Chains A and B, each alone.
Chain A
Amino acid sequence: METSTILHNFILDELVKGRKKTIGDDDDLLAEGIIDSLGILQLVAFIEEKFNFTVPDEDVVIENFMSVNALSKYLDQKLATKH
């Protein structure tokens, strides 16, 4: 499964706030209130478990977690370096 699909599914199943049933790849997750502070931390925990990869503190920045697209790009880059 593609990184963005995995992230989409997790966000929609576990984190999404309000009545949203879909989220766009470029939707601003925080500004649009799709997820909250603890949602970001849950995302970090999920990524670490799912992709077996530790997210360094300096990478936990809004620019990497702004949208599904931003997060997918960040993850793909990190996973490519790892392999």
Chain B
Amino acid sequence: MSKRFLLLNGLAIINVVLNHSIGWTYVAMFWWVHRYTNLSSPDFSQLYSGAYFFLRVLEQWVIPSIPAFLMVSGYFASFSAGKKKLLGWNFVITRVKYLAIPYFLWSTLMIIFNVFQNTNYTATRLVRIYLTGQAAEAYYFVPLLISLYLLSPVLIRLANWNWKIFLGITALIQVLTKLVDYPVITGMNLPLAPFFSFINSGWLFVGHIFWFSFGMVIGIQQSDIKETFRKVRWHLLIISLIFFVAGIIEWEWLLLQSGKTWIGPHETLVDNIYSFTILSAFLGFWSAHFPFSKKMEELGPKSFGVFLAHSLFLIIAARGIYHFIPQLLAFPLIFLMILVIIGLSTPLILMKITRSSYLKPIYTYLFG
């Protein structure tokens, strides 16, 4: 089963790139309409079109990517604790170092890129950007993971003390956090809405703590969990399919309830249940052969580098098309495909060049 985590990481990074490419495709469909029609932007006439629903299905499919990364990281933390069942600060510092340095470099690169696009930054804003991962859409994940690693010496003790209670409490924290996000999504004017919105920030661990803890428990109770998931793998798969569909319907319902034309991405409780069941099913089918698994296993170890680098290339590609070949924006699925190819291949090429050049010694600081 452990080798499955390489495959899972490979799959997850493809899905992350796909997710952000979908985001840009929505931008092309609704906010860049003036570039390929006579209409003024934003224009939501393509909402509920075939292309829109196709993108929504894909968007739902990619939801378990971040939970998968966090789960693998939690598993690794419990692996590192070993028989001592303890995690030392040297482990934490090493992990944080190799996450923070490339993150800082790529965030800085994104900020410089935005400065050239006439974005102004104050010192306070810069500090906030670095601390909460706002330099690019995807970067919130790095401060989130760093905070979970910082908590890992405590979490591992709790997981080893009583893994069932530990998992139950972390699940409860996450469920409550997701529940209070619903009024925020629908735009209800509650006095605590700013607080509910804050605790659901992507970079804050409370809304994601279960995934990391789940990975830790898998590491501690590997053989039992492996067997349990194997036994109920078909049930898990069916439940995940139900919640996959429920998540799509729920989102449209939330959009209607909000009374807005568009709402930004939120991971809801239904999405979380879908992620949990599909990830558990994936582990339950640990002996099944997946197509292209070898290729995806090779991609797995490069996931952090792709994660950091893809945002910049997606922006360049999307804006490049906007300026130079706007006719392409009228074809959402072709636009999406181009972005996915660029978002995946450019970082991989860059990583390969770095690794085989005199820059190899700094590869880790660039791509993790």
A residues with a Cβ closer than 8 A to B are 17-19, 30-33, 36-42, 44-45, 48, 55, 57-58, 60-63, 66
Contact = CB atoms under 8 A, between A and B. Distances in A.
A13 to B, nearest CB: 10
Nearest to B84: A62
Nearest to B355: A14
7 contacts: A18-B361, A31-B90, A31-B91, A31-B94, A36-B368, A38-B9, A57-B2
Interface of B: 1-3, 5-6, 9, 72-73, 75-76, 79-83, 88, 90-91, 94-95, 97-98, 222-223, 226, 297, 300-301, 303, 361-362, 364-365, 368
B108 to A, nearest CB: 20
B222 A57 contact: yes
B2 A44 contact: yes
Contacts of B88: 31
B76 A40 contact: yes
A19 B6 CA distance: 24
B98 A41 contact: no
**Chain B binding surface, main DSSP class:** helix
Given A41-B300, A61-B82, A62-B80, A32 B94 contact: yes
Contacts, number: 73
A30 B82 CA distance: 11
B79 A44 contact: no
A62 B82 contact: yes
Contacts of B94: 30-33
A48 B3 CA distance: 10
A58 B300 contact: no
Contact of B79 (A18, A58, A61): A61
- Give the one of A17, A18, A33, A41 with max B CB within 10 A: A41
Nearest to A41: B6
Given A18-B364, A30-B91, A37 B2 contact: no
A17 B364 contact: yes
A19 to B, nearest CB: 4
Contact of A36 (B81, B90, B95): B95
Contacts of A39: 301
A29 B272 CA distance: 35
A42 B6 contact: yes
Nearest to A20: B361
A19 B223 CA distance: 37
Contacts of B362: 19
B91 A60 contact: no
Given A30-B91, A31-B90, A60 B223 contact: no
Nearest to A36: B98
Given A30-B91, A39-B301, A45-B6, A17 B98 contact: yes
A66 B81 CA distance: 11
A58 B79 CA distance: 11
Given A38-B6, A45-B6, 11 more contacts: A36-B95, A38-B9, A38-B72, A40-B79, A41-B6, A44-B2, A48-B3, A60-B79, A62-B79, A63-B82, A63-B83
A37 B300 CA distance: 11
B97 A33 contact: yes
A30 B80 contact: yes
A77 to B, nearest CB: 18
A83 B240 CA distance: 44
Contacts of A60: 2, 79
A42 B76 CA distance: 13
A48 B4 CA distance: 14
B89 to A, nearest CB: 10
Contacts of A63: 82-83
Contacts of A32: 94
Contacts of A55: 2
A39 B362 CA distance: 17
A37 B73 contact: yes
Contacts of A18: 361, 364-365
Contacts of A44: 2-3
A58 B72 CA distance: 17
B361 A61 contact: no
Nearest to B286: A57
